[in-house]
Amino acid sequence: MKKIAVLGAGLTGASAAASLVKQGHQVTVFDKGRAAGGRMSSKRTEQGYLDMGAQYFTARSDVFTQQVKQWLEAGLVELWRCKTALLSDDEGVISLTASEDKQQRFIGIPSMQSPVSALLQGIPLLTSCRIHKLDYQQQCWTLYAEDGQHYAGFDAVLVTVPPVQAQQLITQSGLANIFDSVTDLLEPCWAVAVQAQSIPYGDAIFCQHPQLRFISHQQHKTGRSSCYILHFNAQFSALHLDEPAEFWFERSSQILRQELQVKGDIKTLVAHRWLYASQKDQMAPPGILAMPEQQLWAAGDWSYGGRVENAYLAGLQLAQAVHEYSDHTEAMR
């Protein structure tokens, strides 16, 4: 049995932690946020949850399809029976058309983070705990948090935070940098939640648009506040990365009124900036990054091309890497 630290309580960290516990290891998960979920986090309001990050997920591999089936049976996820549409901007000519789409999309209930929380059930989780330095001495890791606490005696460390944050941690720790090639892998996204009159069709609106990538209406999502979530594309988000929330509220309202022809009052709710939201299409997925001699491995959805499913599979791959290394070292004795 190994004592293992997992940095990051998103789906990759949760998947890795759950798998390692099944293998008999002692696992502690650390996250700088107030709760588990990562980009599957939802904001809780009096009216219901707001999915500010991932809006849904799909299942393609046999492994993840089986996991989704278990979540369905446990009441942790459901099929999102959404109407899909396409919003396009052809040189200033805006069109919104219904689209034929047979893809099955799933959502967590009552929030997107429900499957993540379920995977972490019974596993020690330290939230609001930002680890800012690692120290490897005598085949053991010690983790130092920004609040002055330290956590010692770990045999292995799994890093599941975004590559830029991982690089900062590695640099501050004086370790060999394994993240140089992936620090530019992820792009930002501003997400805005607004309450407004629903349009005739389009719970899931895919956008071919100079500013938007996706619009979701939560009216058919169990446990959610009935509102729009607008995700701005990486280029527009990066161009206006440091603009205040008011800028994004105004732009969202303009789009809803002028391009989607939404009538009546529009109430702005929340604007959230995701610095590391989606993967650049032109960059090849790097797979797992590793310092095996020190028993440090790193991965996330970015390891295999983005998407919620790949976040889950990356966690399984991390757990497998620990298992294979343990078998190798045992065989060498």
The predicted model gives 235-254 an average pLDDT of 97
- Using N-to-C axis directions, what is the helix angle for 308-332 and 62-74, rounded to 10°? 110
Helix, coil or strand: residue 78: strand
More confident: 181 or 11 = 11
How many angstroms separate the CA atoms of 201 and 43, rounded? 25
How many angstroms separate the CA atoms of 292 and 54, rounded? 32
Residue 91 predicted with pLDDT over 80: no
Q: How is residue 177 written in tokens? A: 């940098």
Give pTM, 2 decimals.
0.94
Topology adopted by domain 1-36+120-184+287-333: FAD/NAD(P)-binding domain (3.50.50)
Residue 149 predicted with pLDDT over 90: yes
pLDDT at 332: 57
CATH number for the region 40-112+186-279 comes to 3.90.660.10
pLDDT at 49: 92
More confident: 279 or 55 = 55
How many angstroms separate the CA atoms of 99 and 65, rounded? 25
Domain limits, the chain: 1-36+120-184+287-333, 40-112+186-279
The predicted model gives 4-21 an average pLDDT of 98
How many angstroms separate the CA atoms of 62 and 262, rounded? 41
Please state which of the ranges 58-62, 128-132, 260-264 shows the lowest mean pLDDT: 260-264
Residue 110 preceded by cis peptide, ω within 30: yes
Strands 204-208 and 84-90 come out as parallel
Residues in contact with 204: Cβ distance below 8 Å, sequence separation at least 6, in sequence order: 55, 56, 80, 82, 83, 84, 85, 105, 214, 216, 217
**318 touches 159 (CB < 8 A):** no
Strands (E) in 46-181, as ranges, are 48-51, 77-79, 84-90, 93-98, 106-108, 125-126, 131-137, 140-145, 150-154, 156-159
On average, the pLDDT of the chain sits at 92
pLDDT at 328: 57
**303 touches 288 (CB < 8 A):** yes
Q: Annotate 297-327 with b (16+ C-beta within 10 A) or e (fewer).
A: bbbbbbbbebbbbbbbbbbbbbbbbbeebbe
Q: Tens digit of pLDDT for each residue in 42-76?
A: 998 887 899 999 999 999 999 999 999 999 999 99
